[in-house]
Amino acid sequence: MSIATTELAAYLDELLNASAFKDYCHNGIQISGAAEVSCIASSASASLEVCQQAVSAQADALLVHHGIIWGSINRVDGLLRDRIQSLLGANCNLLAYHLPLDADPVWGNNSKALELLGLTNEGSFGAYHGNEIGRWGLFEIAISPQELAKRCETAFQHAIVHCPGGPESIQKVGIITGGGQSSLLDAHAAGLDAFITGEASEQTWHEAAESGCHCFACGHYATECHAVHALAAHLAEKFGLKHLKIDQANPI
């Protein structure tokens, strides 16, 4: 079976409420290829290697969280040219959803991370240009910071940087995956015991200690390589498509 590319993109736009977000990348179709999609590949980022794997598998579309069009394009050369060329040469579409895929209460990166950790999905926090990007949830039974670090390491298969600062009993936890460390103080303002993200900056250590909210940095890629595959699997089931899951290891 197959679906028109424009119809697939319209479905994703509506599902993820993409038009509601002021983002610094284009959400939706970034590279226009085949008019019909019967095989969709998915990956966290549209690196050249991922694009080439999608093309080799004869995918009609590649669905990613990190696309290749960020801000305005003044010139197509170098790495950008190579990625675009690989997709256009095979008539393969590129669909990318950044903040909409972070924030979605069902399919989003933050919601999937809550699931992986065994947290409930209670609500949102962390406003960015009028939209709350983060999701927070509860543990049925409060756990220690050390136990949460172990659960994060198991869930995300990544080394954990723990910036301590909160209570010794953690129950209310917020998540903004990837490079969400600047939202630590939003997590504190929301009354959370701990904040989980992908990366930590130098100031994160001090902000955690001074605000009284733990921060756990679990890897940018590691926290954002789950939702996009789940979303693509949903598309495959709904529209009768083939689905190719592409994982490109990234320790960052």
Do 194 and 209 reside in the same domain of the chain? yes
Find the domain containing 213 and state its range: 103-223
Do 236 and 210 reside in the same domain of the chain? no
Do 219 and 229 reside in the same domain of the chain? no
Let me know if residue 163 belongs to a domain.
yes
What is the pLDDT confidence band of residue 74, given thresholds at 50, 70 and 90?
confident
Do 204 and 107 reside in the same domain of the chain? yes
Residue 71, phi then psi, degrees to nearest 5: 70, -150
Instruction: Give the pLDDT confidence score for residue 209 in this predicted structure.
Output: 98
Model confidence pLDDT, tens digit, residues 214-241 = 999 999 999 999 999 999 999 999 999 9
Question: Is 90 exceeded by the pLDDT of residue 72?
Answer: no
Q: Based on the structure, what is the number of domains in the chain?
A: 2
Model confidence pLDDT, tens digit, residues 19-52 = 999 999 999 999 999 999 999 999 999 999 999 9
Do 67 and 116 reside in the same domain of the chain? no
Question: Is 90 exceeded by the pLDDT of residue 252?
Answer: yes
Cα 141 to Cα 80: distance, rounded to the nearest angstrom: 48
Which residue from 27, 23, 45, 24 is spatially nearest to 252, judged by alpha carbons? 45
Instruction: Give the pLDDT confidence score for residue 73 in this predicted structure.
Output: 86
Model confidence pLDDT, tens digit, residues 87-107 = 999 999 999 999 999 999 999
**Would you say the C-alpha torsion 33, 36, 41, 43 has a positive or negative sign?**
positive
Do 87 and 18 reside in the same domain of the chain? yes
Asked if residues 2 and 38 have their Cβ atoms less than 8 Å apart, the reply is yes
Residue 14's contacts (CB-CB under 8 Å, 6 or more residues apart) are none
Do 179 and 131 reside in the same domain of the chain? yes
Of all residues in the chain, the percent with pLDDT exceeding 70 is 100
Instruction: Give the pLDDT confidence score for residue 217 in this predicted structure.
Output: 98
Do 112 and 80 reside in the same domain of the chain? no
CATH number for the domain harbouring residue 205: 3.40.1390.30
Let me know if residue 252 belongs to a domain.
no
Beta strands 194-197 and 170-175, pairing class: parallel
Let me know if residue 195 belongs to a domain.
yes
Tokens coding 23: 């983002």
